[in-house]
Amino acid sequence: MDEKTDELPLEDRPPEPLLDDEPVLPPQEVRAILEALIFASPQPLTPHEIAKVLDNVAKETWQAAIEELKVEYARDGRGLQLVEVAGGYQITTRPEYNDWIRDLVDPQRPTRLSIPALETLAVIAYKQPVTLPEIIELRGVKSAGVIKTLLEKRLVRIAGRKEVVGRPMLYRTTKEFLLHFGLNDLSELPQIEDFAEVLGEEVDVAGLRKAIDAPTPVSAPLSEDEPSDPTT
């Protein structure tokens, strides 16, 4: 402050500017704000979104707050959990209470995928991007109807066309797939034997292992004078 400001009564003096290293919010409030943001977000709240909203809070501060929240939600006896999934953070119900929640939300709606759908989804997850003819050759079963179901449930998406004769569509898993199976990204896909436990006991684990380990079938490439698809 200058000398004239020093002469003013305390109640008339302007507030002193915040120092660069002075926290704007106390840690407890940062933790509470983060909990509210994660709970209110319809999709997993990404670090980029957190940094954008809490632009006046140091990254180290809100990261530490998230770790504290994880510990708090990990306590025994809680019905909710804070998980890192699909590249962000989400507050979800614990899986052991899914049956109770299903009875409340929609007891009439079937939630499980068929065995062919689960096996086709597994092939796409581990071999992506992959075409329908490749899936059929790898699994030895027709999968066109199954692909439609997976598309409707937004577990897979069309990822362009393969530049081979016929230009078949390529399929990849989606963010919804990561959410459905609680994965942060595809690098967290476990061994197929472990993933089969999540998919269901009736899944043909040996057949899936054989399909996943097999090289992707080779298709004839486009000839140089064959025009490419203008829609892709």
Q: What pLDDT shows up at residue 204?
A: 80
Tokens linked to 34: 């983060």
- The three-state secondary structure class of 25 is coil
Tokens linked to 20: 């660069």
Q: What pLDDT shows up at residue 232?
A: 44
Q: What pLDDT shows up at residue 108?
A: 53
Q: What pLDDT shows up at residue 111?
A: 56
Contacts of 204 (CB under 8 A, 6+ apart): 115, 119
Tokens linked to 179: 């959410």
Give the domains, in start order, of the chain with CATH numbers. Answer: 22-96 (1.10.10.10), 115-213 (1.10.10.10)
Q: What pLDDT shows up at residue 230?
A: 47
Q: 104-135: string of b/e by CB count within 10 Å (b at 16+)?
A: eeeeeeeeebeebbbbbbbbbbbbebbbbbbb
Q: What pLDDT shows up at residue 67?
A: 92
**Total residues found in the chain within this entry:** 232
d(CA 67, CA 86): 17
Write out the chain's pLDDT in tens, 232 residues. Answer: 555 555 555 555 565 554 455 456 888 899 999 999 999 988 899 999 999 999 888 999 999 999 999 999 988 788 888 988 888 999 988 877 777 776 776 655 545 778 888 888 888 999 899 998 888 888 776 777 888 889 988 899 999 888 877 788 899 999 889 888 888 888 888 888 777 777 766 778 888 888 888 887 776 666 655 555 544 4
**Cis omega (within 30 of 0) on the bond before 230?**
no
d(CA 189, CA 182): 10
For 166: left if phi > 0, alpha if psi spans -120 to 50, otherwise beta; the answer is left
Contact predicate 68/59, CB 8 Å: no
Contact predicate 138/197, CB 8 Å: no
Burial class (CB in 10 A: 0-12, 13-18, 19+), 178: buried
Q: What pLDDT shows up at residue 10?
A: 53
Query: Amino acid identity, residue 92?
Result: T
- The three-state secondary structure class of 64 is helix
d(CA 8, CA 221): 83
Give which of 63, 46, 48, 54 is closest to 25, Cα–Cα. 54
Give which of 205, 207, 203, 213 is closest to 117, Cα–Cα. 203
